A = this chain, B = another copy of it.
Amino acid sequence: MTIHELILKNRSYRRFYQDVKIDLNTLKDLVELSRLSASGANIQPLKYILSSEPEKNGQIFKNLAWAAYLKNWPGPEDGERPAAYIIVLGDKRLKESFGYDPGIAVQSMLLGAVEKGLGGCIIGSISRDSLRKDLNIPDQLEILLVIALGKPKETVVIETIGSNGVIKYWRDDKGVHHVPKRSIEELIAG
């Protein structure tokens, strides 16, 4: 796959074939992609918690909020939940803030997931204190974001933003998820 095809296929997926398991080695392959990616001043302050077991997955799932713009959808139901998670943490012993490192890292990992026939979603809306307690995460590791992973069970389509400028995604009556994107002309400032 070209990088363009890979990025096109790398949509934010929120419903999965939950019974298609992802093993720990697959998650480690993804962390390896992050390990080899750029880090500001090469400090490499990110750490990762991996989860591919139903019990740990459940502990993570209950601390996440899904798809803020889909008001009537509380998140994936049992059977369509992620088969695995990678929690991205910032090690405060190494750095106070983590700059562009987490964005770079998650993009590497998600593109790796897509290449493996998987897909995922970056989740920033997390009950952090509760997740910290549930998984016994030490205080020096700041919880930055969670990547939910699985074999995608939904279709996601890119749309062009209309003249109303609305950027909220929506789901149609066939369950297809539509994401409006700004035109390239709007993005180029000079």
Contact = CB atoms under 8 A, between A and B. Distances in A.
A51 to B, nearest CB: 9
A20 interface: no
A186 B189 CA distance: 41
A83 interface: no
A57 interface: no
Contact of A7 (B36, B47, B103): B36
Contacts of A49: 188-190
A145 B38 contact: no
A68 B40 CA distance: 11
A36 B108 contact: no
A104 B38 CA distance: 12
B187 A35 contact: yes
Interface residues on A, range: 35 or more
A31 B190 CA distance: 12
B37 A107 contact: yes
A111 B44 CA distance: 19
29 contacts: A3-B111, A3-B112, A4-B32, A4-B33, A4-B36, A8-B36, A28-B184, A31-B184, A35-B184, A35-B187, A36-B158, A36-B181, A41-B68, A42-B167, A44-B167, A47-B188, A49-B189, A49-B190, A50-B190, A100-B102, A101-B103, A102-B103, A103-B103, A104-B106, A104-B107, A111-B111, A135-B190, A137-B190, A141-B189
Given A41-B68, A47-B187, A102-B103, 10 more contacts: A3-B111, A3-B112, A4-B32, A42-B167, A42-B179, A44-B187, A50-B188, A99-B103, A100-B103, A111-B111
